[in-house]
Amino acid sequence: MGLASCLTVFAAKPSDSMMRSLGQRAGSGDLTAIDQLAEIKEELYQGLDPTEDRVKMIENLRLMRMAFDEVGKKVGRDDTDGPALKALNYALKTQGLNSLAIDALGDAAATGNKVTLRMLLDYKKNRLALSSVTFALVKSAEKEIPEAVEFMIAIMDNDQHRPLWRVASMSLKNAARHGNARAKAAMIKYAGK
């Protein structure tokens, strides 16, 4: 019986400690933990209406992020192509877990992890959604990691990316405040639109 089946039988939502434990297992390279997270996500969201069940949706997202936060922390500490990063790569290809894995890559990149930063910046090559990558790089841009700041400036310079301008602009506040003229110009451009 799979983990999701167990959840159905007992009609219980996974606990915070269970989700952290699955995240830690995934961070150690246990890909079955990623498979279990996919089952849990499917079970948690089954039959929910995003409009009517908003509170449940938010709680379920919190639970899922809890697990992926653990993996992201492990990747951030490794700074190599280790087991935790392999687990995130696996999650990127697992239906329903892509955006959670991208967020975890963003958390790792914000710690200064160059491998994950490069993966996000090369989003086209890695077949990652630009919108997800933009949100994932917010923390890095706020920490003024140069590559992330330049990424956000490029978002602001492209009229086709207008739906992402607000988030990019907000992430550039620190860089602009600390004298980055290009970040300041991008924010002024957004304010004028």
**79 and 147 in a common domain:** no
DSSP secondary structure code for residue 81 in this structure: S
Does any domain span residue 129? Answer: no
Burial class (CB in 10 A: 0-12, 13-18, 19+), 192: exposed
Tell me which H or E stretch contains 188: helix 181-191
CB 82 within 8 A of CB 30: no
Domain count, the chain: 2
Residue 78 has what pLDDT? 78
3-state helix, strand, coil in the chain (%, to 5): 75, 0, 25
Same structural domain, 59 and 141: no
Of 146, 150, 151, 159, the closest CA to residue 128 belongs to 151
Residues of the chain with pLDDT under 50: 1, 4-11
List the domain range (segments joined by +) for residue 144: 137-193
Same structural domain for residues 151 and 65?
A: no
